[in-house]
């Protein structure tokens, strides 16, 4: 089978490897759709494990099951989580599922014709797709689940003002979810086409990221934001977040600058104003269930975020389009389409 192997963002090769056969408790699945995640192009995060096959936002079909597999059958349509928690360790028992390190198995990369699913993920990481959820829509399940968890940790609720810094794919999902909660939403970006997408995704107001965001926020909203969600690694966004969050509010670091960047936090000011700063890295099983339900019930529409569908051979071009940033939001690789 063919795989797209990542050595770095400038060196992505189509290689031929043997198609694996499932052993006891394993499954072989055919990859119909795999999204390119913003984290896939972050070299400082990926290079320590290179070369590797990336891709963790998948919609797949079961083509072969190993001995002992009874939960799924050939032909089942699935989403598979990139990793799963053990549900027993001290982190899982506190609901900190992304911090679980007890389960070592990870989903092999989805930029490939087929994936051999490890036993642990067969047992605890597979989710049947509802009939009305397409393989392309399945590529949004994991990123939407991460957004759900971040907003839950931030205690975002109806009627609040939410500022989303960055209107890439994750930022637009934050806009959609906050709008679904009937929040007042403001979004920023440096790209005007993405600001237009933010408006169509439910933002009440948008502005370019290189303007005085605080002034415009107060002008249209009357106050600062109850929650500021940072979905860009741009250092300037952190300064904007510190300025724009209201007293008693929360700043959510959904994206972070690269290691080594010095971040200055006005803790003395935040102490008096009782401002929270939280991070959100991944998701848990309940977040995945909720994401599937929101997509299936039509509560969160995702198809309008798809800007590119590419064959496996064009994976490198997809990465470059995402890095260029001008026209890309959601890029989906379809390994079995020419």
Query: How big, in percent rounded to 5, are the helix, strand and coil portions of the chain?
Result: 35, 25, 40
The per-residue pLDDT for 260 is 86
Greatest alpha-carbon pair distance for the chain in Å reads 64
pLDDT at residue number 90 = 97
Q: How far is CA 112 from CA 115, 116, 212, in A?
A: 7, 10, 44
Domain map (residue ranges) of the chain = 2-143+283-334, 155-279
169-180 helix and 192-200 helix, angle to the nearest 10 degrees = 30
Residue pair 33/73 in contact by the 8 Å Cβ criterion: no
**H helix runs in 22-160, sequence order:** 43-46, 90-93, 119-124, 135-138, 141-153
Q: Which residues of 105-137 are buried (b: 16+ CB within 10 A; e: fewer)?
A: bebbbbbbebbbbbbbbbeebbbebeeebbbbb
pLDDT of residue 55: 97
Tokens 């933010």 map to which residue?
198
What H or E segment, with its residue span, contains residue 65?
strand 57-65
For residue 70, give both structure tokens: 């009874």
CA distance 337 to 181: 37
Q: Find out whether 227 and 162 touch, Cβ atoms under 8 Å.
A: yes
Q: Would strands 57-65 and 77-80 be described as parallel, antiparallel, or unpaired?
A: antiparallel
**Intrachain domains 2-143+283-334 and 155-279 with the same fold:** no
> What does the pLDDT read at residue 326?
77
Predicted local distance difference test score (pLDDT) of residue 325: 80
**Superfamily of chain region 2-143+283-334:** Medium-chain alcohol dehydrogenases, catalytic domain (3.90.180.10)
End-to-end CA, the chain: 14
Fold for domain 155-279? Answer: Rossmann fold (3.40.50)
- Report pLDDT for 103: 95
Question: Which residues of the chain fall below pLDDT 50?
Answer: none
Which two tokens mark 107? Answer: 């989903």
Helix (H) or strand (E) holding 293: helix 285-296
List the one residue out of 83, 139, 108 whose CA is nearest residue 29: 108
């Amino acid at each position: 089978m063919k795989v797209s192997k990542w050595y770095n963002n400038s060196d992505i090769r189509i290689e031929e490897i043997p198609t694996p056969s499932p052993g006891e408790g394993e499954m072989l699945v055919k990859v119909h759709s795999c999204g390119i995640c913003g984290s896939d192009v972050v070299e400082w995060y990926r290079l320590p494990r290179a070369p590797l096959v990336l891709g963790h936002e998948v919609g797949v079909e079961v083509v072969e099951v190993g001995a002992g597999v009874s939960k799924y059958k050939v032909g089942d349509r699935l989403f598979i989580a990139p990793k799963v928690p053990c549900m027993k360790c001290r982190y899982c028992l506190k609901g900190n599922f992304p911090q679980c390190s007890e389960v070592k198995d990870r989903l092999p990369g989805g930029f490939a014709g087929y994936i051999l699913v490890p036993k642990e993920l067969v047992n605890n990481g597979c989710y049947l797709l509802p009939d009305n959820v397409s393989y392309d829509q399945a590529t949004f399940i994991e990123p939407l689940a991460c957004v759900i968890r971040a907003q839950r940790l931030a205690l975002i609720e109806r009627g609040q003002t939410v500022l989303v810094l960055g209107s890439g794919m994750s930022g637009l999902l934050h806009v959609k979810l906050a709008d679904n909660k009937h929040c007042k939403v403001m979004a920023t970006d440096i790209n005007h086409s993405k600001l237009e997408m933010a408006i169509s995704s439910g933002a009440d107001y948008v502005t370019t990221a290189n303007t005085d965001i605080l002034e415009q926020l107060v002008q249209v909203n009357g106050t600062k934001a109850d929650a500021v969600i940072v979905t860009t690694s741009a250092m300037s966004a952190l300064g904007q977040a510190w300025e724009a969050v209201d007293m008693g509010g929360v700043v959510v670091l959904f994206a972070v600058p690269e290691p080594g960047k010095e971040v200055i936090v006005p803790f003395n000011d935040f102490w008096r104003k009782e401002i929270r700063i939280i991070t959100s890295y991944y998701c848990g099983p309940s977040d995945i269930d909720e994401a599937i339900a929101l997509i299936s019930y039509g509560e969160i529409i995702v198809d309008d975020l798809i800007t590119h569908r590419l064959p496996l051979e064009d994976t490198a071009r997809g990465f470059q389009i995402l890095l260029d940033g001008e026209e890309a939001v959601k890029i989906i690789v379809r390994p079995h389409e020419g």
